[in-house]
Structure 1
Amino acid sequence: MTDFVPAARTATRALRELFPETPLQRNDYLSLRYGAEIWLKREDLTPVRSFKLRGAFNAMRKIRERDPSVTRFVCASAGNHAQGMAFSCRHFGVRGTIFMPITTPQQKIAKTKAFGGEWVEVVLTGDYFDRTLAAAKAWCAAEGAYFLAPFDDADVMEGQATVGVEILDQLGHAPDMVVLSVGGGGLSSGVSRYLRDVSPTTEFRFVEPLGGASLKAALQAGHPVQLDEVDSFVDGAAVARLGEKPFADLAWVDPAHVILAPEDRICVTMIDMLNVEGVVLEPAGAMPINALDDIAEEIRGKTVVCVVSGGNFDFERLPEVKERAQRFQGRKKYFILRLPQRPGALRDFLSILGPDDDVARFEYLKKSARNFGSILIGLETTDPANFTRLFAEMEAQGFAYRDITQDATLAEYLI
């Protein structure tokens, strides 16, 4: 047993000053669906609705134990880390300056201020996070404050390991598998490091967003690398570069055990958990559940723990999430139809729609100097097979069309 194990247990006991252990709940719906014992570790039920409070609290606790003169902390964050640090600053009675991008939604700014109260100042700077981060580090150096990193910090990783401590204590035995979401690597490295020491038979699967696969890239290169592009939809895990310290603890991972979850598929899980279970998850929090489809055959009859990392979801995004889920399931499509400019042409087209086909978008511009006009159409249906029938009928009747559902460039401007 390494020194990391007792340190993680000490951190867990210290955390009880802030909140009780988060629930570990057997989920009947998922267990029946996959023929396994599926348990959800509900980190969406911490006081700040994410696991980030654990790492921020532990780092602040240990820093102040080593040097009580440190009374000023700084971080750069647009979400969960900011809220975890704000909560911790108020708990310890120390000053915190939190740099956030100017584009941060007001809801997240307001929550950060509410958690920190008089102890926290929020500074909005930079349109993009890299500029916000640079401003935070420059201010930190000038003021002599302590920069609290969101994941690339040994004390933060130790704090996230408390999730693993609680899982074993609550379950009472070693799970067969733990499924973890990966962003910068703090949670996945901390939990897997602890459980590998005390529960060596437990397997792991790591889940990244398809548009932010920093762990997969690091494992393939043998070191953390900077991704050229990152899809920011999974904002809690869309990280362009895995942390150096987390990678040191994750270098053993088999790349085949890193699951890449498409962003639109994650939306299906978010809608499913909301409608069926009444559980509100942010995209990163839904990833471990979403990955169960990829490992369905491996987990039959086994005990599997999915760490639900967070539930900070802005409901203004719900229409987008529903839209992306429908598109992934093949139940919603957008296409451009070339319609002859003659009386009755539109009626002819509408007559071939089925009883389950619903027009969700319709834009038509008649141009008198042309023989054909273009229509942007969005259709929803109950069964993807309905589109096969519809398109076959359109072709049979001579209607020319172009499916633009997966055309990212056109969708950005037209949809």
Structure 2
Amino acid sequence: MSDFADKARAAERAMRAVFPPTPLQRNAHLSDRYQADIWLKREDLSPVRSYKLRGAFNAMRKVLSATPDRTTFVAASAGNHAQGVAYCCRHFGVQGVIFMPVTTPQQKVDKTRIFGGDNIDIRLTGDYFDDTLASAQGYCQGVGGHFLSPFDDEDVIEGQATLAVELQSVLYHTPDMIILPVGGGGLAAGVVSFLRDETPDIAFRFVEPAGGASLSAAVAAGEPVTLPKVDSFVDGAAVARIGSRTFARLKGIAADDVLRAPEDRICTTMLEMLNVEGIVLEPAGAMSVDVLPVLASEIRGKSVVCVTSGGNFDFERLPEVKERAQRYSGVKKYFILRLPQRPGALRDFLDLLGPEDDIARFEYLKKSARNFGSVLIGIETGHASNFTALFSRMDARGFVYRDITDDATLAEFLI
């Protein structure tokens, strides 16, 4: 038994004074779909609705054990780590200052305040996590506080490994594969470090958002690198640079074991889990389930554990999630139509719509043209194949149009 495993088990025992193990649930819907034995490790059901409580608790516990008079803890987080730190500040009766990006969903900010109460001070700064991190570290140095890293800290990694300790204690057999979401890498580093020695036959797959693939970049370079641009939609995992300590524990994994989840596809998974299973997942929390279709042939007949890492979802974002999911699935498109300025032209177009085609957006973009006007049209339909038929009818009738659904620049300004 390794020293790391001993420490993870000790952390798991201490953690039971704060919250019980999160459920490991077999999911019949996913198991049937993929002809596999699919289990969900429901970190979205922890007291703060994410696994981040584990690392925060363990790091704070060890600091206070070594320096009981420590009074100020400082953290930087896009939301979930913040809630874990806030929860632990109240539990241990200490003060914390938590820096969060200005773009953090309001739901996460409000929940952080609720968990921490008078024991925390929240400061919103920076559009991206890395800017927020720099501000927090500068402040921490100035006041002589203790910085609680969201992932790049051995005590945090050790705390996240308690998830694997729980898995090992309840599984009646060793799973063939564990699918882990990756942002800064703390969860993956902890779980892999614990299980690599304990059960070396388990295969691991790592999932990160396509717009924040810092682990893929690090694997390719052999060391952590900073991404020039990050898509912040998957706010719980949108990190520009994987941690140096976390990557040191993950170094040596194969590039093929790291999967990228497109942000729009994640939206389809979130909606499916909500509508079919009644499970609320945030974007980062849905990533492990999102890659199951990619792994379908590989996992057939096998036992797979997906870590649903968080459920802190602001339902004000639901319209955006639905929109992105429809566009990814091909059942919603936007196009610019060049419409003749004559009586009956609009009727001619409407007559081309099929029985499942519904106009969701209609806006004249140019109303002063003499002969033609440009119209922005958004159409929802029942099946993606309906658009092939619609565009064929439009071509046959001589309508001029441009599909802008996947044109990021035009979509940003017009949609």
Pairwise TM-score range, normalised by the shorter structure: over 0.9
The aligned amino acid for 2:94 is: V
- The residue number in structure 1 matching 2:250 is 250
Taking every aligned residue pair, what percent have the same amino acid on both sides?
Answer: 68
**SS of 1:195's equivalent?**
helix
Distance 1:245 1:368 in 2: 61
- Distance change (3 Å), C-alpha of 1:171 and 1:4: same
TM-score, structure 2 as length reference:
0.98
Contact 2:113–2:122 (CA<8 Å) still a contact in 1? yes
Comparing 402-411 and 362-371, the one that deviates more: 362-371
Deviation, structure 1 residue 69: 2.5
Q: RMSD over aligned Cα, in angstroms?
A: 1.1
Instruction: Indicate the residue corresponding to 1:383 in structure 2.
Output: 383
Aligned to 1:142: 142
SS at match of 2:342: coil
Report if aligned partners of 1:341, 1:366 keep a CA contact under 8 Å in 2: no
Q: Tell me, what secondary structure is at the counterpart of 2:118?
A: helix
Alpha-carbon distance in 2 for matches of 1:151, 1:365: 48
Q: What amino acid sits opposite 2:404 in the alignment?
A: I
- Of residues 127-136 and 215-224 in structure 1, the stretch that sits farther from structure 2 once superposed is 127-136
- The answer as to 2:86 corresponding to 1:86 is yes
CA deviation vs aligned residue, 1:187-224 (integer Å, no higher than 9, x gap)? 01100111111111100000011111100100000000
CA distance in 2, matches of 1:368, 1:311: 49
- 1:82-118 deviations in whole A, cap 9, x for unaligned? 1000000111111101122344343322211110111
* Pair 1:343–1:26, CA change in 2 (3 A): same
The structure-2 alpha-carbon separation of the partners of 1:344 and 1:35, relative to structure 1 and needing over 3 Å to count, comes to same
SS of residue matched to 2:334: strand
* Residues 133/368 of structure 1: CA separation in 2 closer, same or farther (3 Å cut): closer
Per the alignment, residue 182 of structure 1 pairs with 182
> Which AA in structure 2 matches 1:270?
M
- Structure 2: gaps of 5 or more residues: none
Aligned twin of 1:341: 341
Answering whether residue 361 of structure 2 is matched by residue 370 of structure 1, we say: no
The residue that corresponds to 2:361 in the other structure is 361
> Equivalents in 1 of 2:47, 2:265: separation in Å?
28
Please give the alpha-carbon distance, in whole angstroms, between the structure 1 residues aligned to 2:369 and 2:282: 50
8 Å contact 1:180–1:204 — kept in the other structure? yes
Alignment of 1:262-277 (within 5 A): 262-277=262-277
Q: Partner letter of residue 376 of structure 1?
A: L
Per the normalisation by structure 1, the TM-score is 0.98
* Partner secondary structure for residue 294 of structure 1: coil
1:78 alignment partner, SS class: coil
| Match in the other structure for 1:222 | 222
Equivalence for 1:66:
66
CA deviation string 1:285-326 (max 9, x = no partner):
100001111111111111100000000000000011011111
Aligned to 2:305: 305
User: Amino acid of the residue matched to residue 295 of structure 1?
Assistant: L
| Structure 1 range deviating more: 232-241 or 120-129 | 120-129
1:30 aligned residue: 30
- Given that 2:128 and 2:232 are in contact with CA atoms closer than 8 Å, whether structure 1 keeps it comes out as no
Q: Residue in 1 aligned with 2:119? A: 119
**Matches of 1:63 and 1:368, distance apart in 2:** 69
Q: Which moved further from structure 2: 361-370 or 105-114?
A: 361-370
Structure 1 residue matching 2:293: 3-state secondary structure: helix
CA distance in 2, matches of 1:204, 1:101: 31
**Partner residue of 1:201?**
201
Match of 2:321 in 1: 321
CA distance in 1 between counterparts of 2:50 and 2:125 reads 24
Q: 1:157 to 1:369 in 2, by over 3 A?
A: closer
Give 1:170 shift.
Answer: 1.3
Task: Sort the Cα spacing of 1:365 and 1:187 in 2 relative to 1 into closer, same or farther, 3 A.
Answer: closer
Contact in 1 for aligned 2:107/2:313 (Cα 8 Å): no
Cα distance, 1:197–1:188 mapped onto 2, change above 3 Å:
same
SS in 1 for 2:142: helix
Instruction: Give 1:385 shift.
Output: 0.7
Distance, in Å, in 1 between the alignment partners of 2:363 and 2:152 is 49
- In 1, the alpha carbon distance for the partners of 2:137 and 2:94 equals 19
1:270–1:105 Cα change, 3 Å: closer
Structure 1 CA distance, aligned partners of 2:167 and 2:95? 33
Shift of residue 62, structure 1, vs aligned partner? 0.9
Contact between 2:129 and 2:239, CA under 8 Å: does it hold in 1? no
Once the two structures are TM-superposed, the CA of residue 328 in structure 1 deviates from its matched residue by 0.7
SS at match of 1:402: strand
- For 2:38 and 2:296, locate their aligned partners in 1 and report how far apart those are by CA, in whole Å: 11
> Secondary structure of the equivalent of 2:73?
strand
